Structure 1
Amino acid sequence: MSETFRAAFVIARRDFIAIVYSKAFIFFLLGPLLPVLVGFAAGNLGEQMARDVSRPSVAVALTTADSDKLLAARAALSKTFGDGYFADMKIVGDGAAEQIRPQDYLRKKADNFSVVVTGTLANPIITGTASSIERHRADIELLAGYASSGGSVRLPTATPDVVAESANNDKQLRTITAQIGQALIFFLTLLLAGMVLSNLVEEKSNKIIEILAASIPMESVFLGKLVAMLAMALVGITMWSIIGLIGFVAIDPNVPSIPTPAVGWPTFAALCFTYFIMAYMMFGALFLGIGAMASTVREVQTISTPVTMAQMVNFFFAAYALTKTGEPIEIFAAVFPFSSPFAMIGRAALEPTLWHHGVAIIGQLLFAVLLLRLGVYLFKKNVMKSGNAGRVEDGGKRKLWGLMKISR
């Protein structure tokens, strides 16, 4: 057993150094950042354009005196409700002196009017679509009533008494934290686990895997490659976290408020890290098994696509089970190995109990070992054509010295 782990360490060190010190690793680190930056810029630009283009405004066509009172009421109440609470209002004419046709103002695309207010303050008439009237009616009635009273009506000011949490919305708030943890683990696993597959297929095409198989057990080769890819993934996550933290501080120093998970932030962060490793080990071992069956890149894409889709189904299943805590469907999601990391991180956000996380982690680790052994079996059967491939005895010892020289 010690010799197997020693050989796996040699393979892991060899692969890790070869990947991290390559030029392609720089592009690997920059790869996920570019779409994030482009998406952030496009999102801000699109939000600004949508706000400028689709911001509704109200056309006011009361008498001159009533229109002035309505706009004065809007200015006065905006100090209480906030500047952006009421829609923009514009006086378009005198309803008493002109023949006002509200439909004519609504047809003008340049003005972007949502509704037109005619009539009087005592009996305002709102012209527009049903949804627009429903959106503006309460505000216009409030402003008209305030303007009719001459501002003598004083709205009471409520004194805020803020509490951190309440029993009514505690689970709902923590569900947000659970969803964030699930999505983070899923996307990192989806992004990084496939690299194990490409690495194995590349070495199969270069015949390097045959040299390794002639020197040490295939169990050590597969375990070493999985550990090396995991270490490389952790390096990438560390770099992305540092860059992301610097970006958040530069853009907005205020840290966004996220509901505190039931187990507390330190334990939740440790469980997120652990469940990511478990998910990576399971899906990485599964991809190694796929690589054992595939001999070309086309076969890799054909076989791995259904697995990736199944991985998404597991994530959505765990996200759905998040709202069914304690029910059979949620228990099944926590027990089923491929959805267990996502379901259990949801439990960590909602439930303070810790012992079931230990049971789940042990089960996921054993399942990852089972998948790894299955991948080794498939490799021996499909590639080496022998159940004992990968073993060359030399006085009862493995030939590790040649492999160590290769890794150096």
Structure 2
Amino acid sequence: MIETIRAAFVIARRDFSAIIFSKSFFFFLLGPLFPLGIGIAAGGLGSQVSRDIDNAVIGVALSPEEAETLLATRIRLSRNLGSKTLPELVILRSLSGQEADIIAKLDSEKSLNAILSGSLAKPVLTGSEGDVNKWRGKITLLAETALSQPVEVEIETRFVRQTGSSSERGQLLTAQAGQAILILLTMILAGMVLSNLVEEKTNKIIEILAAAIPMDSIFLGKLFAMLGMALVGIAVWSTMGLSVALAFGGNWGALPVPAVGWPLFIILMILYFSMAYLLLGSLFLGIGAMATTVREVQTLSMPVTMGQLLVFFLAYSSITKLGEPVEWFAALFPFSSPFAMIARAAQMDNLWQHGLALIWQGLFTMVIIRFSVMLFRRNVMKSGQAARKKSLFARVAGK
């Protein structure tokens, strides 16, 4: 076992150094920046369109007379200022006006950004700090106009923390984003294992290595070398992305916090990406063992790529079904397990399950590697039980 690991380390160091210090690796790092730039531009355009289309909804918990007056004032002002300038008002007739009742209503209604209570002379605006500060001036304008008197209205503001349902919605968004990042990086980077193996098969380098080092060590070394290259690429892209984000600024506190916290979530993202990469990479090694030409590689890898998308859809559809059979299946099935478990990390704070999942994924990776080695020996090295039987039949036929 020690000799296998030592030989695998030699192969990993050889492949890693050859890739990292090559000219092609520099262009590999630059490659994703072009679609990323287009994505950022499209995202900015999409957010601008969203701001133009969407409008805030403010719940009105005033007396029926004052609520109707405020609603009529909003309609009158919107004719001059525009319907998107002022927030939409929804009259809430079931509220008592108590702070606890208002917060409970704000928590239960997903469409409400804030709630206006009290009276027109002394209004109280309750909501998150961002929404309250954003719409405070417009609500003041509405209240002063509705009073029909030259009276300056002072709005009392009440900020609420992220409530239970909003916290769950934020964690759900974090889970979806984590899964999307994992599948995108895995599909972009895992295919390089296959191209590297086929290239060395074509140049007969793999056969020279197999004569000196056990095949298990070669496959393990190549797999971890490509994983190291992928992690270096991710580190470079992440550093550049964070630098751009810090340069332009942003409200980092508004990011939904995962259940395990950001430090552990980032660590689990790295671990689950590594396991997803190793699982898919080991499967590609098996494909490379069977393929002899680039055309065969494309033919054999296409079902795996489509299957990976189906696996992602399975994990994605189970995000909102924690504890249900379909979610358990996604968490236990090795190829969907990394994506399902990162969603659990965003929504559940217990850590023991992640240790078990990582061990299970690692064991299944070793099984696939052993199977890939067996295929390589039979299809390329012409060794193993099948090859011995074929040789025996040939000798018998010759006699």
With normalisation by structure 1, the TM-score equals 0.70
Letter in 2 for 1:300: V
Are positions 1:270 and 2:273 aligned together? no
Distance (whole Å) between structure 2 residues aligned to residue 361 and residue 177 of structure 1: 20
Moved more, 363-372 or 249-258: 249-258
Distance (whole Å) between structure 2 residues aligned to residue 6 and residue 204 of structure 1: 23
**Residues 335-387 of structure 1, C-alpha deviation per residue, up to 9 Å, x if partnerless?**
00001001011111111111111111100000000011111011111111112
Distance change >3 Å, CA 83–CA 169, structure 1 → 2? closer
Flag the structure with larger Rg.
1
Aligned to 2:188: 191
Aligned to 1:74: 77
Is the 1:293–1:379 Cα contact (8 Å) retained in structure 2? yes
SS in 2 for 1:214: helix
Are positions 1:167 and 2:164 aligned together? yes
**Residues 47-95 of structure 1, C-alpha deviation per residue, up to 9 Å, x if partnerless?**
668989x99xxxxxxxxxxxxxx999638997xx9983379xxxxxxxx
Number of paired residues?
Answer: 318
Alignment of 1:67-106 (within 5 A): 74=77, 84-85=85-86
Alignment of 1:226-305 (within 5 A): 226-255=223-252, 257-305=254-302
Distance change >3 Å, CA 206–CA 161, structure 1 → 2? same
Structure 2: gaps spanning 5 or more residues: 55-72, 89-140, 387-399
Aligned to 1:98: none
Decide which of 158, 166, 177 is 1:180's aligned counterpart: 177
Are positions 1:382 and 2:385 aligned together? no
Distance (whole Å) between structure 2 residues aligned to residue 322 and residue 315 of structure 1: 11
Decide which of 320, 340, 351 is 2:348's aligned counterpart: 351
Distance (whole Å) between structure 2 residues aligned to residue 19 and residue 297 of structure 1: 20
Distance (whole Å) between structure 1 residues aligned to residue 76 and residue 314 of structure 2: 51
- Report deviation, 1:192: 0.7
Distance (whole Å) between structure 1 residues aligned to residue 246 and residue 146 of structure 2: 48
- Report deviation, 1:295: 1.0
Higher share of residues assigned helix: 2
Distance change >3 Å, CA 147–CA 272, structure 1 → 2? closer
Aligned to 2:109: none
Distance change >3 Å, CA 83–CA 216, structure 1 → 2? same
Bigger relative contact order, structure 1 or 2 (CA pairs below 8 A, ≥6 apart): 1
Distance (whole Å) between structure 2 residues aligned to residue 201 and residue 283 of structure 1: 16
Is the 1:262–1:352 Cα contact (8 Å) retained in structure 2? yes
**Residues 120-158 of structure 1, C-alpha deviation per residue, up to 9 Å, x if partnerless?**
xxxxxxxxxxxxxxxxxxxxxxx9999898567998946
Letter in 2 for 1:217: P
Is the 1:74–1:86 Cα contact (8 Å) retained in structure 2? no
Letter in 2 for 1:238: A
- Report deviation, 1:169: 3.1
Are positions 1:338 and 2:351 aligned together? no
Alignment of 1:32-43 (within 5 A): 32-43=32-43
Distance change >3 Å, CA 43–CA 261, structure 1 → 2? closer
Distance (whole Å) between structure 2 residues aligned to residue 289 and residue 258 of structure 1: 40
Distance (whole Å) between structure 1 residues aligned to residue 170 and residue 382 of structure 2: 55
Q: CA RMSD in A?
A: 3.5
Distance (whole Å) between structure 2 residues aligned to residue 267 and residue 212 of structure 1: 39
**Residues 84-109 of structure 1, C-alpha deviation per residue, up to 9 Å, x if partnerless?**
3379xxxxxxxxxxxxxxxxxxxxxx
Aligned to 2:317: 320
SS in 2 for 1:159: strand
**Residues 269-303 of structure 1, C-alpha deviation per residue, up to 9 Å, x if partnerless?**
11111111111110110010011111111111111
Is the 1:178–1:349 Cα contact (8 Å) retained in structure 2? yes
Distance (whole Å) between structure 1 residues aligned to residue 19 and residue 182 of structure 2: 23
- Report deviation, 1:43: 4.5
Distance (whole Å) between structure 2 residues aligned to residue 274 and residue 316 of structure 1: 21
Is the 1:196–1:288 Cα contact (8 Å) retained in structure 2? yes
Decide which of 346, 370, 373 is 2:370's aligned counterpart: 373
- Report deviation, 1:167: 2.4
Is the 2:78–2:85 Cα contact (8 Å) retained in structure 1? no
SS in 2 for 1:233: helix
- Report deviation, 1:3: 1.1
Aligned to 1:215: 212
Structure 1: gaps spanning 5 or more residues: 56-69, 88-142, 390-408
- Report deviation, 1:238: 0.6
With normalisation by structure 2, the TM-score equals 0.72
Is the 2:143–2:153 Cα contact (8 Å) retained in structure 1? no
Distance (whole Å) between structure 2 residues aligned to residue 327 and residue 207 of structure 1: 50
Distance (whole Å) between structure 2 residues aligned to residue 354 and residue 245 of structure 1: 27
Q: Identity percentage over the alignment?
A: 56
Aligned to 1:14: 14
Distance change >3 Å, CA 77–CA 260, structure 1 → 2? farther
Is the 1:197–1:291 Cα contact (8 Å) retained in structure 2? yes
Distance (whole Å) between structure 1 residues aligned to residue 46 and residue 337 of structure 2: 37
Distance change >3 Å, CA 346–CA 71, structure 1 → 2? closer
Letter in 2 for 1:159: T
Distance (whole Å) between structure 2 residues aligned to residue 17 and residue 369 of structure 1: 24
- Report deviation, 1:173: 1.9
Is the 1:73–1:146 Cα contact (8 Å) retained in structure 2? no
SS in 2 for 1:262: coil
Aligned to 1:309: 306
Distance change >3 Å, CA 255–CA 82, structure 1 → 2? farther
